[in-house]
Structure 1
């Protein structure tokens, strides 16, 4: 089949949703499909003259230096074609058998395409953005979910969002982990697991400041006995000096960090899935997370993780302290989480997606 994935922009920095699409692109190409990933400079349908001028300049700049490509942080199979385009106007889109929207902005364009671009599918990842969107954006998002595409959700959060929008889904395909990249290198019971990690993200709904506040409470009591690290893009200005920061670590470095963590904390208010939490589980860390929606795809409170209400800093701190003090519980959750996350293979996800594309 000729399969086109449509992303909402360039891929110069690591993004969880983009990573999922690239994994699917690699897997489908390796199964013999002709796969193209389209990435636009302009995803919005309207803008000011100055805005369009700036986007045109960026389009030309990335065309020349190749910075639209994910090669700096993700290894795409050579058979996958990346097509950098000015916009998602239909004339820029290749003909094919299947076309897959990967964000609501791309779905707005795709629903207007003719049949020559392929049967329309929608890989839905926008739960956290829907939760914080204004009413007009929510209305536009809801229209895409009701546009007659084959809707694919990845977590209970996606199902909940579609229900709010009076839309339905055709397939449920959870995301997956590349266990060749993220896996157990250090025993779960190893004494070298002494640290606590968490992701740092600039969006308020990612809850980074909540994680810092919860850990600051514990640091005031435990001091330097608390070994804490975080990772992400630019270092947040509010991050205390006692938190070790890793800016855009490679997968290899991140895997090492996860493997020396006894606890990994996901503080998000909302998540469509939550890749770092799943990766940490695959590397043997005990997961503490807010009940952010997406985490329910792979974690159950008191069985494979400890969950607390989103935005409740005291409850988050209490769960972290609980696992610091109760080693047996920490090891039990880490082991159960590690065993459970093994189900989330890319083979299973690819089998499901390929069958969905063929059978629809």
Structure 2
């Protein structure tokens, strides 16, 4: 098949990473894959002028790295940050929207661009998005694939979409792994650092502040794709790693006694499954995949969104386990994800595309 993915700005986000995995897998399976994305938006003229007159120079549009870099895929970036047009998208058998705004563009395409799919990686009714338009995309006549059971249920209950294909995200066990291990000599928490409010780093930092009173030698490991801007006061015991490579991320997970996720919204939560593959128990809010995966006090702990005290109690529980008890929870965390594989998920994704294409063959002949 000829498959086109229509993307917003390609970046180092988890959503782009998942798309990159499937695009590469489809290409290796003999499909002709094209990815079309927007460039990073240029600064406004007003911002450029302000920068110039304040002595900071004329700003240029940055070229940001993405998970598509170096994969050898046909990745086309359009001329400027704008809605995509029919002429931007190649003719194909299947065309896949990957974000609410791309769903609008894909829905407007002619049949020549392929059977229209919508890969839903989250419920994108975020405060910074036009909610009415986002909601409308979930009701569009697009073949839908999503990544977690809660999103399948949401699409059915909220939007009347009963034919949504579930292709769960996974983990690469050759990339994220750990031999059986014990607790750290110094109690250690890991977090993903992202200043987007939905990621809940403000909550995580408050949890850490509470725990410092009981664990004076507490160590905190954090990594993220963007440097801290100073919007939060970071604790002195926090070690921050900017855009570490994948091998380094595995090592960071494996240095933690517990991984803390305080997100307010998650479509899936890739760091959670990766940490558990590295035998790190998880303490998480009830968002995304952890709701399906965590059995409280067996492989981790769940807490309500924004419940700082409950999250702190969950982390404290893991940190105060004795050596044998911690090893047991660590092993349970690992076993929870042991059978998961991107190879299996990629086959399911390919099957979903193929089934949608075959179901539309009469339409294909008529075009």
TM superposition shift of 1:182: 1.4
Q: From the two aligned structures, give the one with the greater helix fraction.
A: 1
Runs of 4+ with >6 A deviation:
none
TM-score, with structure 2 as normaliser: 0.84
1:120 aligns to 2:116 (yes or no): yes
- C-alpha distance 50-146 of structure 1, shift in aligned 2 (>3 A): farther
In the TM superposition, what are the counterparts of 1:152-163 in structure 2 within 5 Å? 152-162=145-155, 163=157
Instruction: State how far apart, in whole Å, the 2-side matches of 1:256 and 1:208 are.
Output: 21
Q: Which aligned pairs between 1:73-152 and structure 2 lie closer than 5 A?
A: 76-78=70-72, 80-86=73-79, 87=82, 88-127=84-123, 129-130=124-125, 132-133=126-127, 137-152=130-145
Q: CA RMSD in A?
A: 2.5
Deviation, 1:301, is 3.0
Structure 1 residues 168 and 137, CA, compared in 2 at 3 Å: closer, same or farther? farther
Are the equivalent residues in 2 in contact too, given 1:211–1:267 (CA < 8 A)? Answer: yes
CA distance in 2, matches of 1:35, 1:263: 39
1:1-360 to 2 correspondence within 5 Å? 1-11=1-11, 14-41=12-39, 67=63, 70=66, 76-78=70-72, 80-86=73-79, 87=82, 88-127=84-123, 129-130=124-125, 132-133=126-127, 137-162=130-155, 163-184=157-178, 186-189=179-182, 191=184, 194-223=187-216, 225-232=217-224, 233-237=226-230, 238-327=233-322, 328-360=324-356
Contact 2:167 2:345 in 1 (8 A): yes
**Alpha carbons 1:197, 1:258 under 8 Å: kept:** yes
Note the C-alpha offset of 1:137.
2.2
Change (3 A) 1:18 1:193: farther
Deviation at 1:176, TM superposition (A): 1.4
User: In the alignment, is the contact (CA less than 8 A) between 1:26 and 1:76 conserved in 2?
Assistant: no
Please give the alpha-carbon distance, in whole angstroms, between the structure 2 residues aligned to 1:201 and 1:42: 19
Q: Distance in 2 between matches of 1:239 and 1:167?
A: 43
* 1:357, distance to aligned residue in structure 2 (A): 1.1
1:140 deviation in Å? 1.1
Larger Rg: 2
State whether residues 3 and 31 of structure 2, in contact with CA within 8 Å, keep that contact through their aligned partners in structure 1. Answer: yes
The gaps in structure 1 that reach 5 residues or longer are: 44-48, 55-60
Distance in 1 separating the partners of 2:291 and 2:69: 29
Q: Deviations over 1:16-57 (max 9, x none)?
A: 0000000001111111111111112389xxxxx969x99xxx
Contact 2:122 2:268 in 1 (8 A): no
Alpha-carbon distance in 2 for matches of 1:139, 1:165: 13
Query: Deviation per CA, 1:302-351, whole angstroms, max 9, x where unpaired?
Result: 34321000100000001111111123443323211211212221111011
- Give yes or no for contact 2:188–2:218 (8 Å, CA) kept in 1: yes
The structure-2 alpha-carbon separation of the partners of 1:277 and 1:213, relative to structure 1 and needing over 3 Å to count, comes to same
